[in-house]
Structure 1
Amino acid sequence: MPDQNLLPNPELRVIPRDQHNVSRKDISPNALRVLYRLRDAGFSAYLVGGAVRDLLVGGHPKDFDVATDATPEQVRQQFRNCRLIGRRFRLAHVVFGREIIEVATFRANVDDGSGDRETHEGGRLLRDNVYGTIEDDAVRRDFTANALYYAIEDFSVRDYTGGFEDVQNRLMRLIGDPETRYREDPVRMLRAVRLAAKLDFEIEPATAAPIPTLAPLLSESAPARLFEECLKLFLSGHGVESFLRLERHGLLPALLPESAAAMKANRSGALRRMVLEGLRGTDRRVANDEPVSPAFLFALLLWPAYCRALIALQAQGVHAAEAQRRAADRVTVHQLNMIALPRRFSLPMQEIWLLQSRLSLRQPKRVSRMLAHPRFRAAFDFLCLRLTASDEHADDVAFWREAQQQFGDLVADPDDADASESGEADGAPRKRRRRRRGPPVAAGE
């Protein structure tokens, strides 16, 4: 629990409608329904957090959260389409088809014995369900930019921590003592980087200062949380900027230790160039509303670690094929200690790596079999990406590109592999499409 003495005293500043650009027409109609229903039932309710922040900078929020003085049980009484979730933070989810409006009760920092709070001896907050006032709620939020409340009564924005000014100045600033807040929840260090990258904000100097020293605390966070945070960092359209800021603030070695070490040892910088080029491609796909694959992402992020492990095993005299398998397993297992990468992503990630050596075998009799492999397209895209690091694979890329042009009907549908990864095909037999076998393709034809 944060020390109450280290948190600022909330001072309300009301920004009237004519001094900000938040408009109801940009707010989800379902969020407005929740706000008005709670108000009509006699509760206070505000749009809060990221949605208000994003609207103030001209963004288009995907999620709309509500803060209220109603308890989760009282919220559920108002909405038949409501479910209560969470142990660490008890929340109400009001479900409108595919959209969920998350409703949180104002939380306090001081436990008077009436609530439910548990803190790790190191200061990490394990459970926090002590309810309070809107002033309490504002100062216990993480960043000032996330502690802004939009009121439907007068369409004003209410600011208790200086967040409105920080948004105008494009600053991410922690509320309270930075070191205490990071120890309370180390994932906040990643959130600071991610939000700054997303919004093109700078991290305020005092907020940034403790990060390099406290970065090892990430190892105490739940691996499943770190996996979800990685997806937000790298698959939300600002992966390159997230990577650069992780480097700048000393977080990359804590999050991806073996890859960070491999890139540092790689004097030519080729591995780092490849990772950045891959993230640029991912950002373009997100911008174009094209699908992105966590398996391909982690194949990219962990490739430097795989290359380093492979070289070490081969130096020990391990046969090439065995060294590849052992390197893939070693890197995966070691990274799982930090990030809980599900098997539906780790297995295709390893396949992408292991297929790289097979793509250098251009015997005609192997071509049709390789084209039909469910991971061929991902492996080929990865091979193309490797040209960023070295042009030694240029002939292989040219060969397989021509092979696809001549026998494109043999190429496996990647959607089949994606369905298998996501579990959509579990328990349901899939029809196997008959593949037309064409004549082998010789190099140079």
Structure 2
Amino acid sequence: MAAVKTDSRMLNNLISSIKRWRKPAKKGPRVIARNDHNISRRDISRAALTVMKRLQEAGYQAYIVGGGVRDLMLGGHPKDFDVATDATPEQAKVLFRGARIVGRRFRILHARIGREVIEVTTFRGHHSDGETHEAKQSEHGMLLRDNVYGDLESDAMRRDFTVNALYYTTDGFAVHDYTGGVEDINNRLIRMIGAPATRYKEDPVRMLRAVRFAAKLDFAIEPATEAPLKELAPLLRNIAPARLFDEILKLLMSGQGERTFELLRRYHLWQHLFPDNAAQIEKNPAALELTKRALRNTDQRIQADMRVTPAFLYAALLWPAVDEEQKKLIEKGIPPAPALAQAAQKITSNQLAHTAIPKRFSIPMREIWDLQHRLPQRGGSRAQRQLEHPRFRAAYDFLLLREECGEIEPGLGNWWTDFQQADDEQRQQMVRKLQRSGGNNRRGRNSRGGRRRKPKAAE
């Protein structure tokens, strides 16, 4: 009997040893001392430094984390800084007047310092540690709610990519690196922390982030991080359209839109964001050229600090499908203007199932399309009225894009270019010349678009 007990104890000890062996011991961070990195407080916003100071004075840890640290190490000048702390949102909130807790999936604090808002996040823990805090996943593995709190190391391991898991503190002015992010920055690599497929399933938007950072930083995506992208791309269909709209703005309106578009196509992600556009560019070279030129135009404007609007970009991305649908309706006998309206409604509704389009953008988008039908109609006072339309400039730029990509014959764009540069007398001469040549598209119609009435017979 004693022998049996001895064997049992030995077996239990062996099992415990195996468990200890299988569970990796916590690794300390690589700490890059002040003299060994290039980050200076002068390049960090005063608001972020103020937030860190208040948290530290209250006895909490505080670090600048994420893209701000990454970009500083790359020699950039980031505008946004996020702070990570061991204080809960409720504990941090009492330190900042007017602060508010936002988010449901991830609860974070927005601390307002002057005109700046600093995002303050509590260190995240592993899902298995969530005994008292809520962590919930969908059937596909996506995290629906995740407010499991932890320590600095677990927070680093919960972040998406190594280059975004660097922590800078003013307590010693050091950078803490738990995941090899500094090495990946030096090697110009985007690497997922943890098992890439699992992390993508937890949040499919991470696939878009991998592409965005690769395009923005001109980094390569590490092979294991890259491998699941095509297979898991359909998971983007599970993301709320409103959230995807926000991601689209980051992807395509940050100055690297054309490069991002190419990567999204390479990894089969584009077709789940803009399915109608994806279908058109596979069969219509003009559609692909229009898409590329619109993105290139947007990139150039952003790099020149010029104004850009999602309305113009969405107009370009969805136009090939709208144009094809309009032609189908015209073949069925529907007049061009109503056909365009019906086509616009259908394609816009299709897109709304994938990405939201707020009305402040969808209305101008449809006005840009409508003006493509009206710009050829220049007789009488129409040209002047269209010139005064609030969306004329965007519609004119869009017309030029259509001509450049070969969708329509050139000529109309040059006419409108000359018309804008002419004085009043020259404009009247241009319209009269157009009418004499029969190119005003108003034959047999009055100024309201109806047919001219025959004069009444003399009584």
TM tier, smaller: 0.7 to 0.9
Residue 217 of structure 1 is matched in structure 2 by 235
8 Å contact kept, 2:163–2:181: yes
1:37 to 48, 54, 57: 54
Does the alignment pair 1:141 with 2:175?
A: no
Please give the root-mean-square deviation of Cα atoms over the aligned residues, in Å. Answer: 2.3
Residue 172 of structure 1 is matched in structure 2 by 190
* Long gaps (5+) in structure 1: 410-436
CA gap 1:438/1:261 in 2 versus in 1, 3 angstroms: same
Does the alignment pair 1:56 with 2:56?
A: no
Does the alignment pair 1:75 with 2:75?
A: no
Local SS of the residue matching 2:432: coil
* Long gaps (5+) in structure 2: 1-21, 436-459
Does the alignment pair 1:272 with 2:288?
A: yes
Residue 252 of structure 2 is matched in structure 1 by 234
Q: How does 1:364-383 map to 2 (within 5 A)?
A: 364-383=380-399
CA shift for structure 1 position 322? 2.4
Counterparts of 2:305 and 2:52, CA distance in 1: 31
**Percent of matched pairs sharing the same residue:** 53
CA shift for structure 1 position 112? 3.8
Residue 329 of structure 2 is matched in structure 1 by 313
Q: Return 9-18 or 254-263, whichever deviates more.
A: 9-18
1:295 to 303, 311, 329: 311
For 2:432, the aligned partner's letter is A
Counterparts of 1:352 and 1:8, CA distance in 2: 60
Greater RCO, CA 8 A, separation 6+ = 1
For 2:111, the aligned partner's letter is V
8 Å contact kept, 1:7–1:139: no
2:178 to 150, 160, 176: 160
Q: How does 1:317-356 map to 2 (within 5 A)?
A: 317-356=333-372
Local SS of the residue matching 2:431: coil
CA gap 1:408/1:222 in 2 versus in 1, 3 angstroms: farther
8 Å contact kept, 2:93–2:101: yes
CA shift for structure 1 position 243? 0.9
8 Å contact kept, 2:402–2:408: no
Does the alignment pair 1:12 with 2:29?
A: yes
Local SS of the residue matching 1:47: strand
Counterparts of 1:254 and 1:241, CA distance in 2: 18
2:117 to 85, 100, 112: 100
Counterparts of 1:133 and 1:119, CA distance in 2: 22
Q: TM-score, normalised by structure 1?
A: 0.88
1:257-304 CA-to-partner distances (Å, cap 9, x unmatched) read 1101100011xx222112211211111211121111111110011122
CA shift for structure 1 position 8? 11
CA gap 1:390/1:231 in 2 versus in 1, 3 angstroms: same
Local SS of the residue matching 1:302: helix
8 Å contact kept, 2:29–2:177: yes
Residue 46 of structure 1 is matched in structure 2 by 63
Does the alignment pair 1:121 with 2:139?
A: yes
Counterparts of 1:190 and 1:281, CA distance in 2: 22
For 1:342, the aligned partner's letter is P
Q: How does 1:352-363 map to 2 (within 5 A)?
A: 352-363=368-379
1:136-180 CA-to-partner distances (Å, cap 9, x unmatched) read 101011111111101211111111111111111111111111111
Counterparts of 2:130 and 2:429, CA distance in 1: 78
8 Å contact kept, 2:165–2:181: yes
Local SS of the residue matching 1:123: coil
Residue 389 of structure 1 is matched in structure 2 by 405
Counterparts of 1:350 and 1:381, CA distance in 2: 15
Larger radius of gyration: 2
CA gap 1:232/1:408 in 2 versus in 1, 3 angstroms: farther
Residue 244 of structure 1 is matched in structure 2 by 262
CA shift for structure 1 position 371? 1.4
CA shift for structure 1 position 11? 4.5
Counterparts of 1:7 and 1:441, CA distance in 2: 80
Counterparts of 1:316 and 1:16, CA distance in 2: 72
CA gap 1:125/1:115 in 2 versus in 1, 3 angstroms: same
8 Å contact kept, 2:96–2:112: no
8 Å contact kept, 1:7–1:175: no
2:206 to 188, 195, 207: 188
Residue 426 of structure 1 is matched in structure 2 by none
Residue 456 of structure 2 is matched in structure 1 by none
Q: TM-score, normalised by structure 2?
A: 0.85
Counterparts of 1:228 and 1:326, CA distance in 2: 27
For 2:248, the aligned partner's letter is C
